Structure 1
Amino acid sequence: MGWQQVIEQTVVGLGYELVDLERSTGGLLRVTIDWPWDPAAPQERYITVDDCERVTRQLQYVLEVEGVDYKRLEVGSPGIDRPLRQPRDYERFVGEVVDVTLRAPIGAAAGGAVAPGRKKFRGTLRAGEAPGTWQLELLEDEAAPPGGAKPARRRGEPTTVQVLGFTLDEVREARLAPIVDFKGRRARGAAGQG
C-alpha cells in the first residue's frame, strides 16, 4: 500500500474526508481534511484545531510505522477557497460562487458575451440538465465587454448574463471563490448606535 492510501485510510478511519494531499520536495507533507458532506444534516460542520490535532497525532504514528519519510506534517482545513475535485464536491456547493479553469479555452463558436479563448471563469455553480453536467452562471462582471475594454463598475448585485455548460472532464481546476463579506459587521455596528 502506498503512502497516499495509508493517509487516506487513516483520515477516513477517523471519520473525516481527505480533501487534498501534497508532498513537497523539502519534506513537507500537507494533508487537508474536512467533514464528510451529509445533505440531510441540519447544519454544516467545520474543522477545528482539535480535529487537526487528532489527525496529526494518528498520522504521525501511522507514518512512522509505515516508514514514510517526511520532515514536517501539516494538517488543516480546506479554507474559503476549497478545491472541488469529486462530483460530490460539486453537488455540495451548488449555488455557491466558484472559480473554474477549463483544460482548453472556449472556442469562437461559443459566441455570446464571453470572449473566445478564455479558460478562467467565476460564477454561480448549478447542476446541469443531464446527469454529470454542470453549469456556471457567469456574472456581468465576468462577461467580456465589446472591444476588450474593462467592464464598468456598477452598484448593486451583478446580474447573470450567460450560462456556461461543462463536464468534470473539461475542468482543470475548480475552487470556491474566496469571497469575504464584511457588510454584516457594519450592519451590526450601525444597529448598536441607534
Structure 2
Amino acid sequence: MVKSKLEQDIIDALEAQAPLHGVDVVDVEVVGATKAPCIRVRLDKLEGDPINLDEVTAQTAWVSDTVEALDPIAGAYTLEVSSPGMKRPLRRPSDFARFAGEEVELTTTAMEGRRSYKGVIAETTDTAVTIQPEGEEAVTISFDDVKKCTLKPVYDFKGVKEGK
C-alpha cells in the first residue's frame, strides 16, 4: 500500500503498542492543511465484534501518548481516533484475505490508463489482490500499486418497518 513516510512512521509506532491493548491499527491518515493537519487513526478489536464508541474512547489515551512521543508534526495538529466505519479501509494483505468475497472500491497508481475498480475480492496472495468487477474480466493488482481500498458499504434495511 502506498503510504507517506509520516503515515507509515505513525502506523509503525502504534502497531508496536496495539497488541498490548487488544486492538488492531486499521489505518492512519494525515489530512488537511500543513499548518494544522489532522491525524486520523482507525482502530478495531483484534478479534470478535467491532469496536464500539466506549472502547475507542478507552484507547485514545495511549494512542495520543504514542503519537505525541513520536512527535511527527512540528506545531499543532488534531488527533482523531475512531472505528473503521462502514467504508473500512483495507491496508495489509491480511485485511484483503479477511474480506475475500466482499465488494470493494480500489484506487491504484495508473495502470494501463485505469485508476479505479469496483468489484469483489476474488483472490489474494502475499503480494497481490485479484478484483472481479461485475461484467468484466478479473484484474490482479500488486499491493505496491494500491493507493486506497475500502469496503463498499452494505445497507440492509430488511426488517426495518416504516415509521418505527
- TM-score over 0.5 for the alignment? yes
Q: Secondary structure at the match of 1:103?
A: strand
Paired residues for 1:53-92 under 5 Å: 53-62=57-66, 66=69, 68=71, 70-92=76-98
Q: Secondary structure at the match of 1:172?
A: strand
Distance 1:73 1:17, change over 3 A: same
Aligned partners of 1:127 and 1:85: how far apart in 2? Answer: 15
Paired residues for 1:27-42 under 5 Å: 27-36=37-46
Aligned partners of 1:135 and 1:119: how far apart in 2? Answer: 15
Paired residues for 1:161-176 under 5 Å: 161-176=136-151
* One of 7, 18, 25 as aligned partner of 1:18: 25
* One of 120, 124, 133 as aligned partner of 1:124: 120
Q: Which structure's residues are more often strand, by fraction? A: 2
Distance 1:29 1:131, change over 3 A: closer
Distance 1:180 1:89, change over 3 A: same
Aligned partners of 2:108 and 2:77: how far apart in 1? Answer: 34
Residue 45 of structure 1 corresponds to which residue in structure 2?
49
Moved over 6 A (4+): none
* Paired letter, 2:154: I
Aligned partners of 2:96 and 2:70: how far apart in 1? Answer: 35
TM-score by length of 2: 0.73
Task: Give the RMSD, CA atoms, in angstroms.
Answer: 2.8
* 2:44–2:83 contact (8 Å) kept in structure 1: yes
* 1:56–1:73 contact (8 Å) kept in structure 2: no
Q: Secondary structure at the match of 1:139?
A: coil
* Paired letter, 2:88: R
* 1:16–1:35 contact (8 Å) kept in structure 2: yes
- The higher-RCO structure (CA 8 Å, 6+ apart) is 2
Deviations 1:73-116 (A, max 9, x none): 3210111111111110111110000011221233xxxxxxxxxx
Paired residues for 1:139-178 under 5 Å: 139-140=134-135, 161-178=136-153
TM-score by length of 1: 0.63
State the percentage of identical aligned residues: 28
Aligned partners of 2:50 and 2:67: how far apart in 1? Answer: 25
Aligned partners of 1:70 and 1:48: how far apart in 2? Answer: 28
Aligned partners of 2:130 and 2:70: how far apart in 1? Answer: 44
Q: Secondary structure at the match of 2:137?
A: strand
